[in-house]
Amino acid sequence: MPDPILPTIQSPADLRELSIDQLTDLAAEMRQAICDQVAKTGGHLAPNLGVVELTLALHYVFDFAHDRLLFDVGHQCYVHKLLTGRYHLLDKLRTRDGMAGFPEPAESDYDLFSVGHAGTAISTAVGMARANQLLVDRGAEQPRHIAALVGDSSIVNGLALEGLNHAGTLKRQMLVVLNDNGMSIGKPQGAVASYFDKVRVSQTYKDLKARAAELLKKVPGGGVIEEAYHRLGEVTKAALAHDHMFEHFGLLCLGPTDGHDLRTLIEMLEEVKDIDRPVLLHVKTTKGKGFEFTEGDATTFHSPKPFVVNGCRVEVTSSGRSFTSAFADAMIDVMANDERVTAVTAGMPDGTGIVKVIPKFPDRTFDVGIAESHAMDMMAGMAKGGLKPFVVVYSTFTQRAFDQVFQEVALQNLPVRICMDRAGLVGGDGAVHHGFLDIAFLRSFPNMTLLAPYDEPTLNAALRFMNDHSDGPSAIRYPRDNVPTEPFAAEPEPYELGKAVKLVDGKDLAILAYGFPVNHALEARKQLHQQGYNVSVYDARFAKPIDKGLIRELIEAGRPIVTVEDHAAIGGFGTCVVEAADEMGLDTRKITRMGLPDRWIYQDSRANQLAEAGIDTAGIARTVRSILENGHAPQPQVQVVTATPKPVR
């Protein structure tokens, strides 16, 4: 057995000492290393397996210590990280001491942006290309090659198309690599996806060359393609696409070509590297390449939990019933009982649970691809048309449709219902996916209703309330976590607009918890009770409208109030409570807000992140004790966690 190559790769410069055959061996080692690690910790598996050869070829041809590589859908970056000095961080993937699951500039200078949202790379690449050109023209910098790697159908995102539209105006080098794997997170949707399905890969170099002669017959004299044809090598000449849809954006388009053919990829990249105009290289890859179980089910293994391979079987670790699963079942019940209900997701049918709803109601459930803005506006149209639409999306992606919530939903006072999964801290995905802003930006819209459940029965009750609420838009938030195995009440009180519910009575202090933190508040209350403290716990239920009557009652009774939320303290539920008290002319000095601090919280387990923010059971109990014993909340005692130090370049 030859010695493994992967542990010897300290930087991309080491690649250039390898033969093509050795690169092929390295690709196999990388696939195995990534698969073995994701099986232990979870993470993005299929997207990274599909870009091994493509990433190797890019780093082999370009010098990204000086040149610039920008990622779209940053979850396809594992191979890039293994090539840039971070192999030693792989065994702690997605933990605070290990390798981030997305590009992370604090981790390495090779990562230019912390990026977890799709559609951004082309626009930022255009900006970096223009910045470099301006500095070169002033003699302040050397020319840099700019490359953007786009994948998982993010090319259909509106921002990506805006970037392509402007990229065509560049008068200098810029490369867009379109990683077309025939997939998004799940099955891609829409006309662009259908177009790509019709395009076939030229499997061999011979096939590429055979296209060249026919190509020139179709090219008008003096065209961009004819000009390029006479300047390029044989491989690239053959790959020129005179009728590619993105040629009309002003880009020189090549391909599609086989994204797993290392030799041809390297030759092609070498030939297009210095073209002084924007180029789009269309590459066909197989998502999950290298393992039968990932190629056969790339959706399940897009970002799996830890799993075990037992011969022909792959068993994904089950850690309990998630809020996502509970939501899916609740949504099915709502749709079964009301034929006017519709639901949409934006490229996340599996992650939001809508994948379970689509087979039940295929004519009323939609996946529009990575297009949150379109999803929101489409559902505004459905609401205007008399239906009851639900937009099902991650909290962090709701931000991408902010303008549509403003203009087409809230301004029109349409009863669009927004269901936000992954609210609050999300664990290993880290800051790029934390859902910590939704209360702050949605509460500013007039007549918006904001609510949050804390277990499965309250989730069901909240969705029933939303379905019946037609006086304006509403939004519900729930975490990337499991529902409690023993709910507080099998049949909770029905949701009543703007009304909180007392769960446990107590005379010393009142905890008003919003959403999932109710569970931590109840556990903290048990600990406090054993220590002689008598604390009440309320399920706040609504951040807007807030229960002003309860706030007045508690303040006038002289009881301290502690608000708890899995959201930024700035602008969140606690702020709603303080503002309501102030508006009523009440004393706000005994209100203590507990929420996420004003800093980024790094990747780790969700439990560790909650502890770091001080809003877990221990943190709530500590705060309440300090207030009752000392008259004020304790000073923060958390360590600020930063990324692993950058490797030297």
Q: How far is CA 257 from CA 204, 240, 366, in A?
A: 9, 10, 31
Residue 313 a catalytic site member: no
Cβ atoms of residues 506 and 536 within 8 Å: yes
Cβ atoms of residues 174 and 125 within 8 Å: yes
Residues 6+ apart with CB under 8 A from 427: 94, 480, 603, 604, 605, 606, 609
> CA 213 to CA 126: how far, in whole Å?
33
> Distance from first CA to last CA of the chain, Å, rounded?
32
Beta strand ranges found along 14-93 (DSSP E): 68-71
Phi and psi based region of residue 327 (left: phi greater than 0; alpha: psi -120 to 50; beta: remaining):
alpha
Catalytic residue among 31, 400, 417, 541: 400
Catalytic residue among 372, 408, 565, 612: 372
Cβ atoms of residues 150 and 178 within 8 Å: yes
Other residues' Cβ atoms within 10 Å of the Cβ of residue 312: 7
Catalytic residue among 237, 287, 364, 625: 287
Cβ atoms of residues 71 and 77 within 8 Å: yes
> CA 437 to CA 433: how far, in whole Å?
11
User: Which tokens belong to 254?
Assistant: 């090549």
Taking CB atoms within 8 Å and a gap of at least 24, the contacts of 28-32 are 28/290, 29/4, 29/5, 30/6, 30/79, 30/82, 31/289, 31/290, 31/291
Residue 372 a catalytic site member: yes
Q: Which of 91, 87, 163, 88 is nearest to 128 (CA)?
A: 163
Phi and psi of 230, rounded to 5°?
Answer: -80, -10
> CA 635 to CA 627: how far, in whole Å?
11
Residue 287 a catalytic site member: yes
60, containing H or E segment = helix 52-61
The strand pair at 561-568 and 509-513 is best described as parallel
Q: Which residue has the tokens 């109030």?
A: 561
Catalytic positions, written as ranges: 287, 372, 400
